[in-house]
Structure 1
Amino acid sequence: MADFDRRTALKGGLTVSAVGLLGTATTSAADAAPVVAEPKIHDTAAWSARPPSGTIEVQNHKPTYIVVHHTVEPGNVTDYTLEHAFWASRSIQDFHMDTRGWIDTGQQFTNSRGGHITEGRHRSLEILRGGTKHVLGANVGNNNSTCIGIENEGLYSTEDVTPALWDSLVKLVAYIASQYGISPEFIKGHRDFNSTECPGTVLYNRLPELRTEVGKLLGTASPKVDLPGWPLLKPGDTGPRVRTAQELLRARGFAVPVDGVFGKSTKDAVVAVAERNGLERDACGATAATDETGFLGSDVWPLIVGSGTDPRALKARLAG
């Protein structure tokens, strides 16, 4: 196989590095992950994708992160057929092109509740097989040049994924990681980058398990323990973490109460911070514009933390 020969030829001292917003990983090619078999991936022609409305940009570098999403809609359906997976892929593309105004599907790959994997943005499968370049998508606001994204069909805020979806997700992520030499700790959720519920609390909480399972397929040691991330706060939330956010907002000049209640004034302040700093409002939901206005997450917290505050210590306190 040509792809196997390409990977075998790497065994000789080249260095694979990943540098990005959430950390750095470097491995020598001699220690790189073994080849993982490509799972069945249905390309854009298989599900009758529309042609893109613009040029697909292929960047001359590998992605740093593999990012897990959920589609929100059409919800947690029980139609697990391949035909349904193809329909869902077409629906996602229509929404992204006709409503969002993107040139094509935003994510590189889509995973159905029946465990069927489809190519999302055109050329994503071709470029992944090459293992050296990256198709620029539109699924992680302000970070698309470093991220390759997988939309998982369904809503996973309170419900778990199907066994078939989980199995195909593990295989797809392991294949992507193998092709690009990505270490399992660089498997992230959308909310690690943007202020969004995505990929849902249940699926997000299973990411450590995903990293472990992928690591086993790669033949690597157990992934490093993640440092605490920034918590996701939403309008209506209450408690000490909201109070901390309000204290930081007040220090930034916003007239918000410090009462631990994420009310309208706190929401308005968070929106103002995001707008002033040009953050892309990346409301996840591949087939519906979910309203996540005013969510305070990974991209907003650093903007309200003062220069005299240790972010790691604050994250640890907020996680406690």
Structure 2
Amino acid sequence: MTGLLAIAVLAALALLLVLYPLLRRPAESAQRERDDDLARDLLEEKITLYRAIKELEWDRQAGHLTEPDYAELRARYEARAAAVLKRLDELGVAAPPPAPEPRREPVAVSTPVPWSRRPAALVLGGLALVGFGLALGVLIVRFTQPDPMAGTPMPGSRPLAGMPMPGIPQAPTEGSPRPIPVEMLEGMLSAAHTSLDEGRYQEAIAAYKAVLARDPQNANAITHLGVILAIAGHADAALEAFDKALAIDPDYAHALWDKAKLLAEQKQDPEGAVAVWERFVKVVPPGQDRDRALALIKEAKARLPSPKAAKP
């Protein structure tokens, strides 16, 4: 019994020596991985910003943007690009790659792992230690027990049979290329909303189209293009834009509100407006917008023709 206990202790120590280097992950390595991920995101955003600036140049040459609108929109993109470059400098990124590279490339140029730290060498060394421990355990049993030939199986056979082989963790699989960062899309939408609010419709249209070129299913940009169409008097085209946005997001409150307003004011369809406003009331939280929609529903219903009395 004493010999088996000694064998088990030695085997456990050997396994600990094998598994510890494999499972240990230094904190600095994890921080370096996070910095590499952030640097990749920033490099992708920088490339996208440069492409957006080039598209602005094409729109200006095509006559879609006036010089003041072009200068203002370009200044916003360049300001964001400057912030990205500053952050890249802080991370120590010397220069971006000529094109987005697969995320496995940095691993290929990393410092080679010494042969003594490779998993195969560690496993073989661990097995050698286990064998040494078993041999030592056999010697202990042979010299401490009075009758080693008492009919029990040779010590060391069962511990080896039941011992799990140490596994090597699989490397995480690389996903598809990252999409454009959400922060950048939000910045582009914010610039487009500002242009729309200030009445610079051509600049707003160009900005919303730039968003849709990168995110064709962006209900926000589609809805605001519908708002511009409604302002220009193209009610049918605006209604089509609102319906497209709602097909993407049926509960998008902005599209519901603008569609109901267009039906009530331009299409003179109070019944249709009431149906859309009632949907709006269901999806928005209590507040001024919901109270205003309830008041407009009441006004629109007052304009509806009274139903005819049913004949007996």
Q: TM-score range by the shorter chain?
A: under 0.3
- The higher relative CO (CA closer than 8 Å, separation ≥ 6) is in 1
**Which entry has the higher C-alpha Rg, 1 or 2?**
2
Q: Which has the higher helix share?
A: 2
The TM-score with structure 2 as length reference comes to 0.21
The TM-score with structure 1 as length reference comes to 0.21
